[in-house]
Homo-oligomer: A and B are copies of this chain.
Amino acid sequence: MKHVTIKDVAKRLNVSVSSVSRAFNDKYDIKKETKELILKTAEEMGYFPNPIAKKLSQNRSLNIGVIVPEFINEYYSEMVIALQEFFISKGYQVLVMQSNENVEQELKNVKTLIHSMTDGLIIAPTVGNNNMSYYLQHHREGYPIVFLNRVEESIPASKVIFNNVKWSFFATEHLIRQNYKKIYHLAGYKDLCVSEERIQGFKKAMRKHKVPIENYKIIETGLLAKEGMEIIEDLIFNHDIPDAFFCVNDMIALGAIKKLKDNGYRVPEDVAFVGFTETSMAELVTPQLSSVKQPTYEMAKKAGELLIERIENSEAEIETVIINGELNIRKSSIKEK
């Protein structure tokens, strides 16, 4: 299992190591025939430049760290896939770590990755991280970091975020226009900024359409189907089921729908639903679930571009990219006349 090195190739051909190195990095002068001979021989000998040595001598790792809260849900899976694809095409390798929705784990991951000499970091913060000072300090010192999603617009770093207020507003307005009178919002975590923004959009729609305050309600839930089910249990117990729910995500919606159906409610005849951050399940459940689709690929790619910009030019301006979505209306929120 001994690895063939640049020296072995050089010796075999009676050339210097520099020539071999040059053959593999076309930025230097080298005669075409020598290059081809070297490449051919190297191939035969099974030589491949050792990336670790390369990294050491160039003082960069060509590694990018990506930290996501989880990748059980499609949303971050897709982001990670898109990021990998993007960075590999640029010659980087991607180290993915997940924080398991745990702030301390996230901090650990950041440290691990920075210590591993990643050339830059893409961070999708976990729930409830109001303590980004450590990251921002590194960022100030010139370490390239781009934030993705779940981050306040005001933080001084490049970031890619989704226009939650706007699309939450549209989703809610759609329910109002379908003539649902009593509409509740199942709202995720209050200390999660995307939840907060979706709440804002919800309220905005309520105000615009002058929905009386007794006809809407904002209920803090979590992000999991299980939690959607629990909330519905409470509401059923209190005989407090509205005409429609707008949910912070599809999983909450699916959990809630399940529980309502089990209790004899019909969707959408008795209760209508709109989800958010559309998943592939939206089209597979009965009734199909209306939802706001977020363009994960686009978000990821944009974040990748911003990061590479910062890596290649540490003077690059801080940039905030706000991405738009798409409201896909399906059976779960259509009122039959």
Chain A interface residue bracket vs B: 35 or more
Alpha-carbon separation in the docked complex, A254 to B282 (Å) = 12
Do A84 and B72 touch across chains, with their CB atoms under 8 A apart? no
Q: A71-B71, A285-B285 are in contact. Are A84 and B98 (CB under 8 A)?
A: yes
CA distance A95 to B84 in the complex (A): 11
Q: Judging by beta carbons under 8 Å apart, are A93 and B95 in contact? A: yes
The B-contacting residues of A in range 39-65, CB under 8 angstroms, are 48, 50-53, 55-56, 61
A225 CB within 8 Å of chain B:
yes
The residue that A115 contacts in the complex, of B48, B74, B143, B286, with Cβ under 8 A, is B48
Contact pick for A284, options B117, B143, B254, CB 8 Å: B254
A77 is contacted by which of B48, B50, B52, B77 (Cβ under 8 Å)?
A: B77
Would you call B284 and A261 a contact (CB within 8 A)? Answer: no
Q: Which residues of B contact A143 (CB under 8 A)?
A: 1
Copies in the complex: 2
Q: Are A280 and B51 in contact (CB under 8 A)?
A: no
**B61/A71 in contact, CB under 8 A:** no
With a cutoff of 8 Å between Cβ atoms, the chain B residues found around residue A94 in the complex are 95
A204 at the interface (CB under 8 A from B): no
Chain B residue with Cβ nearest A254: B284
For window 71-88 of A, CB contacts with B under 8 Å fall at 71-72, 74, 77-78, 80-81, 84, 88
Note all chain B residues with C-beta closer than 8 A to A84.
Answer: 97-98
Name the distance in Å between A16's Cβ and chain B's nearest Cβ: 21
Cβ-defined contact, A117 with B50, below 8 A: yes
Which one of B52, B98, B280 lies within 8 Å of A61 (CB-CB)?
B52
Which residues of A are at the interface with B, using a C-beta cutoff of 8 A? 1, 48, 50-53, 55-56, 61, 71-72, 74, 77-78, 80-81, 84, 88, 93-98, 100, 112, 115-117, 141-143, 225, 254-255, 258, 261-262, 280-281, 283-286, 314
